[in-house]
Structure 1
Amino acid sequence: MHQTPVSFSVPQRILHWAVALLVFFNLLFPDGMGRWAHLFFSGEPVPADVVASANIHAYVGIAVLVLALIRLALRLIQGVPADPEDEPAIFRLLSKVAHWTFYLLFIAMPLAGMAGYYLGSGAAAEIHGGPMKVLMWALIVAHVGAVAVHQFYWKTGILKRMTTG
């Protein structure tokens, strides 16, 4: 059995920020995939430039999936820092639920996107770009808010665990 780390390992931190950047990229710039989906599911021809733009979105999503699986493996092998001692129990529970929901989305969202794009599943595409996207945004807002509360209200220094260690 291994000791509980005091901060995340360097590979965990790099993967965290890489996944965050890739997720933000796809959330903020979904235009090519949105245009592809509109044309494809309407039965209209899809121009090559739209396919190329959609491919970028797809490749970034696949990268999120691969990096998230590596991140999950590292989490299970190396462990994660303990929750701050003064954090109320309900917030520790919410933190665990949120983090595991992130992992679920990091896996399910790219898979749904791939099913929509590569297999032509309209239902999968709709779930990917609808409820999953909304849930991802909600989790990001909650995550950033929770870090801010820890950092500035409770003053736990939790942000350091995912930045400088």
Structure 2
Amino acid sequence: MEQSMARAPISSYSKTQMWLHWSVAALILVQFVAHDGMEHVWRALRRGQEAAAGDWPLAYMHIVLGLAVLVLAAWRLWLRAARGVPPVSGMEHPALRLLAKITHLAIYALIFIVPLSGAAAWFLQVPGAGLVPCRRQECAALSGAAPHRRRARPALCAEVECVAADAGLPAGLASL
């Protein structure tokens, strides 16, 4: 009699899988909302300045929670591979199934890439690795805008210049 190596499909996620899912989601939300302390400390250190004492606890919290995201996400993937996941209904259009798979892959990639880039920046001092310059496009758009619009947001372009300098990028980025 031959034993089958295939495991029976599971009908639902385990409590651990659900806990890991929501724990990672909550940690990412906290990281997104409470990143200012890390941003201030990182920028001060990159400029050779002293960071404010009140920013250090938030920076350390950011580091610890980022590492926790990595550990929990790795555990989540391991559990997914070891235990499996419930099958999809099969009622979705093939294009929607493909879109769901691509979206799922992108989310998992970001869950690992973002904390790894932050760790590379903090622990290995890789220039620009921990930066997410989300305002660069807005600044570039403003630099080509009418003069009255540029004057309305000068701090934004100055901020982009600081981010660019911190990352070792060429000066004049905001005027591109």
SS at structure 1 position matched to 2:116: helix
Match of 1:12 in 2: 17
Q: Which runs of 5+ in 2 are unaligned?
A: 1-5, 135-176
Q: Report sequence identity in percent.
A: 34
CA distance in structure 2 between the aligned counterparts of 1:98 and 1:61, rounded to whole angstroms: 22
SS at structure 1 position matched to 2:117: helix
Match of 1:59 in 2: 64
Q: Which has the larger radius of gyration?
A: 2
Q: Which runs of 5+ in 1 are unaligned?
A: 132-165
SS at structure 1 position matched to 2:128: helix
Structure 1 contact 19–68 (Cα < 8 Å) conserved: yes
- Give, in angstroms, the shift of residue 23 of structure 1: 0.6
Greater share of helix: 1
**Structure-2-length-normalised TM-score:** 0.68
Structure 1 contact 5–81 (Cα < 8 Å) conserved: yes
**Structure-1-length-normalised TM-score:** 0.72
Match of 2:172 in 1: none
Runs (4 or more) in structure 1 with deviation over 6 Å come to none
Identify which of 30, 34, 42 aligns with 1:29: 34
CA distance in structure 2 between the aligned counterparts of 1:67 and 1:37, rounded to whole angstroms: 25
Structure 2 contact 11–87 (Cα < 8 Å) conserved: yes
The AA in structure 2 aligned to 1:35 is H
CA distance in structure 2 between the aligned counterparts of 1:40 and 1:23, rounded to whole angstroms: 24
How is 1:85-164 mapped onto 2 (pairs within 5 angstroms)? 85-126=90-131, 129-130=132-133
- Structure 2 residue 74 is the aligned partner of structure 1 residue 74: no
CA distance in structure 1 between the aligned counterparts of 2:43 and 2:128, rounded to whole angstroms: 13
The AA in structure 2 aligned to 1:13 is M
The AA in structure 2 aligned to 1:82 is P
